[in-house]
Amino acid sequence: MVSHTVRGGVKTRKRMKNVYKRKNAKYLCPNCKKKSLTRMQYAVWKCNSCKSVYAGGAWSFNTAPGKESLRKLALIKKEDE
């Protein structure tokens, strides 16, 4: 249980609860498009369906800088066409 591992008050425990939810959630696999991507270890994510392995964020597969870079790449590709 999260409340036993984190000290410092209610606010800190609530933040860590959200982090653990994101860490243990299943994400959409970019390869097979199934919601079966789970965290193997720090920043390593594996799809249980197609067995693909990805590097991602430490606690969630998609990070804010990663989303921003994908958006910029899409804009560059759109300009080239």
pLDDT, tens only, 67-76: 899 899 999 9
Q: What is the CATH number of the domain that holds 7?
A: 2.20.25.30
Query: For the purposes of burial, counting CB atoms within 10 Å of the CB of 59, is it exposed (0-12), middle (13-18) or buried (19 or more)?
Result: middle
Which helix (H) or strand (E) segment is 78 a member of?
helix 64-80
pLDDT of residue 79: 87
Range of the domain at 28: 2-80
pLDDT of residue 3: 47
What's the token pair of residue 18? 């959200």
- Count the domains in the chain: 1
pLDDT, tens only, 8-61: 889 988 998 998 898 999 999 999 999 999 999 999 999 999 999 999 889 899
Cβ-Cβ contacts under 8 Å for 27 (sequence gap 6 or more): 35, 37, 38, 45, 60, 61, 62
pLDDT of residue 4: 55
